Amino acid sequence: MTADDSYGRLEDDNYPAYTMGRAAEMLGTTQGFLRAIGEARLITPLRSAGGHRRYSRYQLRIAARARELVDKGTPIDAACRIVILEDQLEEAQRINAEYRRAANAAADSSRPGPG
């Protein structure tokens, strides 16, 4: 692996760069909270060669949103479901926007030019 390969991984939101302890520290929560949202299948951390949980920045953002809801009194299972639904909605909106752009581009290209 070259230095360029390593640097590219730092830019990858899905690269599992953070240990459980570091992830919990960054989120200001406990390792137990991370285990609980894993058991609720909100996030599935990858495992290192030694079997330790590793988290990506994307997973940490999801965990942070769940923690925000739990801190406001939402039960953890409900918080996980809310975050999953929010993530699905965001993805659906992204796909719809792509379809709209493609439809608009197709409509624009089929119109006769000035002339």
Please give the domain boundaries of the chain with CATH numbers for all domains.
Answer: 12-109 (1.10.1660.10)
Q: Which residues pair with 47 in a beta bridge?
A: 53
The string of pLDDT tens digits covering residues 29-44 is 999 999 999 999 999 9
State the pTM of this model.
0.76
- Lowest mean pLDDT of 32-36, 96-100, 107-111, name the range: 107-111
The string of pLDDT tens digits covering residues 9-28 is 667 888 988 999 999 999 99
DSSP 3-state assignment of 115?
A: coil
User: Looking at the chain, which runs of residues are DSSP E strands?
Assistant: 18-19, 46-47, 53-55
